[in-house]
Amino acid sequence: MKTEIKKFRKELKMTQEELAEAVDVTRQTIIALEQGRYNPSLILAYNVTKALKRKNIEEVFILEEI
């Protein structure tokens, strides 16, 4: 899954650690999400979206067609 997490996080001048703390996960989880190596649960996707001050999950997480 492609994400825009890094882009939006940098716009907010937020570190990976700060985002991780905001959504109650480890920094390694944020790294994996940013690199597209981890597909989050719906709750985590929602929390990341809100922490990045976005309104739609689809802005942050882009589903790639199979």
For residue 54, tell me if it sits in a domain. Answer: yes
- Residue 1 makes CB contacts below 8 A (sequence gap 6+) with 36, 39, 61, 62, 63, 64
pTM: 0.91
How many beta carbons lie within 10 A of that of residue 21, not counting itself? 15
Q: Is residue 9 part of a domain?
A: yes
CATH classification at residue 7: 1.10.260.40
Residue found by looking up tokens 């996080």 in the block: 9
Range of the domain at 45: 2-58
Residue 64: the pLDDT is 74
pLDDT tens digits, the chain, 66 residues: what are they? 899 999 999 999 999 999 999 999 999 999 999 999 999 999 999 999 999 999 999 999 998 776
- The answer to the question of residue 65 being in a domain is no
**How confident is the model at residue 63, as a pLDDT?**
82
